[in-house]
């Protein structure tokens, strides 16, 4: 079975939503992340620790399945941005089926997302689409296919019971899962496929790493990537309206001064945190700051300057005229001496 496009998020879902792009109230899911490979094509480099966009590949994958009730990482323990359960296959290095078996021992949910630790572009929306497709149908699992149409069984959602059933069958036939390829299990499952060349892109070589690093810096992706990286670094789980904040920064820079842009957005963030820290608190803080920037700008326009006061000017002119007339009258009564003239001097004296 094949679907050509990922399922759209239901109304209200969006990338970065706490619901992962699928409706709240659906059954919980667990996640297993396989992160213990030898990385031979990277010269033995610790691939899950390789950074793309300033974040280790493993942390990027863990952010995509952050809604999982239990997340098991099959690898030696290491620092991660969020808490996980650590497991190790038996024997260590026994392959993906042995790693899957080790991870399944810690799970209780009906559905499980199975992921590799080298997926730089996987996000919550894709995880939500996989789970939504699985829950709508009767298939044992839903997996992504790459740009060449090849199955990617480590970017997939499965029914936990189906995985345990086939693992038990393989163990009965072969004495255990160690050393067996993953296709021995997936080949026995009824699978639904979703084509997604971006989310299924994995980093096996240094060329793949370079491609991933270049793509996130493309104009159409860099802001979303940067915001995601900052949220992950700061431990913030908030759907940020970047357009709203950029408009505020523009208004502050143009209407006040350029340095006002970052300072204003910082203060808005601080105010939003005091107001509860959710999306509504951010929107309210932005609304107030935008209104203030608008009032500030209005005062700097010619139309906002106070108009001239004719009555005051006229009174001043009248006072000046009256003082002159009075002076002339006094001069006439005193024999015509003009103000400032020497005593005994007449204006017409010649």
Task: Give 83-129 pLDDT, tens digit per residue.
Answer: 999 999 989 889 999 999 999 999 999 999 999 999 999 999 999 99
Bigger pLDDT: 241 vs 153: 153
pLDDT in tens, 193-251: 999 999 999 999 999 999 999 988 886 678 888 888 888 787 777 777 778 888 888 88
b/e sequence 269-293, b meaning 16+ C-beta within 10 Å: bebbeeeeeeeebbebbbeebbeeb
Instruction: Give me the long-range contacts of 202-207 (CB less than 8 A, separation at least 24).
Output: 202/116, 202/118, 202/119, 202/152, 202/154, 202/155, 203/47, 203/50, 203/52, 203/57, 203/118, 203/119, 203/120, 204/41, 204/42, 204/118, 205/41, 205/42, 206/42
Name beta bridge partners: 30.
Answer: 112
pLDDT at 11 over 50: no
Average pLDDT over residues 162-175: 95
Residue 301, φ and ψ in degrees, nearest 5: -100, 150
What integer pLDDT is reported at residue 21 of this predicted model? 41
Give 31's Cβ-side CA count (13 Å radius): 26
pLDDT (0 to 100) of residue 194 = 96
Range with the lowest mean pLDDT among 9-18, 59-68, 174-183, 247-256? 9-18
Task: Please indicate whether residue 66 or residue 338 has the higher confidence score (pLDDT).
Answer: 66
Q: Can you name the residues that pair with 159 across neighbouring β-strands?
A: 111
Q: What pLDDT sits at residue 131?
A: 97
| Integer Cα distance of 332 and 201 in angstroms | 105
- The predicted model gives 250-268 an average pLDDT of 87
Whether the bond between 91 and the residue before it is cis, its omega within 30 degrees of 0, is: yes
Res. 67: pLDDT tops 60: yes
How far is 16 from 266, CA to CA, in rounded Å? 21
Higher pLDDT, 350 or 199: 199
> Which of 41-45, 208-212, 304-308, 319-323 is predicted with the least confidence, judged by mean pLDDT?
319-323
Q: What is the pTM of this model?
A: 0.70
**How long a stretch of residues is the chain?**
350
Q: Is the pLDDT of residue 43 over 50?
A: yes
Q: Which residues contact 334 (CB under 8 A, 6 or more apart)?
A: none
CB of 349 closer than 8 Å to CB of 337: no
Compute the 3-state secondary structure of the chain and give helix, strand, coil in percent, each to the nearest 5: 45, 15, 45
Query: Residue 277 and residue 275: Cα distance in Å, rounded?
Result: 6
Among 41, 42, 30, CA closest to 104 = 30
Stretch among 1-15, 18-32, 147-161 having the lowest mean pLDDT: 1-15
Of residues 192 and 336, which shows the higher confidence score?
A: 192
Measured between alpha carbons, how far is residue 329 from residues 315, 316, 339 in Å? 21, 20, 11
Q: What is d(CA 157, CA 199) in angstroms, rounded to the nearest whole number?
A: 14
Tell me, what's the pLDDT at 170?
94
Residue 92 tokens, joined: 């260590």
Q: How many CA atoms lie within 13 A of 195 on its CB side?
A: 8
Token output for 161 = 């019971």
The whole-chain average pLDDT of the chain stands at: 80
- In sequence order, the 6+-apart residues with CB closer than 8 A to the CB of 21 are 9, 10, 13, 14, 15, 124, 125, 126, 127, 128, 129, 132
Q: Is the separation of the CB atoms in 206 and 15 below 8 Å?
A: no
């Amino acid at each position: 079975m094949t679907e050509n496009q990922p399922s759209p998020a239901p109304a209200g879902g969006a990338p970065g939503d706490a619901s992962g792009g699928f409706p709240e109230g659906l059954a919980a899911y667990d996640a297993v992340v396989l992160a213990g490979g030898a990385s031979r094509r990277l010269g033995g480099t610790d691939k899950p620790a390789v950074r793309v966009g300033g974040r280790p590949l493993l942390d990027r994958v863990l952010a995509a399945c952050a809604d999982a009730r239990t997340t098991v990482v099959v690898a030696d323990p290491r620092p991660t941005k969020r808490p996980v359960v650590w497991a190790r296959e038996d024997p260590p290095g026994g392959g993906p089926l042995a790693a899957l078996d080790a991870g399944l021992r810690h799970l209780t949910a009906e559905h499980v997302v199975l992921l590799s630790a080298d997926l730089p572009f996987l996000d919550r929306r894709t995880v939500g689409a996989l789970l939504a497709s699985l829950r709508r149908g009767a298939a044992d699992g839903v997996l992504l296919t790459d740009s060449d149409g090849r199955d990617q069984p480590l970017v997939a959602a499965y029914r936990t019971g189906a995985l345990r059933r086939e693992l038990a069958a393989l163990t009965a036939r072969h004495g255990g899962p160690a050393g067996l390829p993953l296709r021995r299990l997936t080949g026995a499952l009824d699978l639904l496929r979703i084509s997604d060349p971006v989310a299924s892109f994995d980093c096996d070589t240094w060329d793949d790493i370079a491609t991933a690093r270049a793509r996130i810096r493309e104009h159409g992706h860099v802001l979303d990537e940067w915001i995601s990286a900052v949220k992950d670094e700061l431990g913030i789980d908030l759907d940020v309206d970047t357009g709203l904040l950029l408009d505020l920064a523009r208004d502050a820079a143009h209407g006040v001064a350029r340095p006002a842009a970052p300072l204003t957005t910082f203060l808005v963030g601080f105010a939003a945190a005091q107001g509860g820290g959710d999306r509504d608190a951010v929107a309210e803080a932005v609304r107030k700051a935008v209104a203030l920037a608008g009032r500030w700008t209005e005062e700097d326009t010619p139309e906002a300057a106070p108009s001239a006061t004719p009555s005051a000017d006229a009174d001043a002119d009248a006072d000046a005229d009256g003082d002159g007339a009075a002076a002339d009258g006094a001069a006439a009564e005193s024999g015509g001496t003009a103000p400032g003239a020497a005593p005994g001097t007449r204006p017409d004296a010649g």
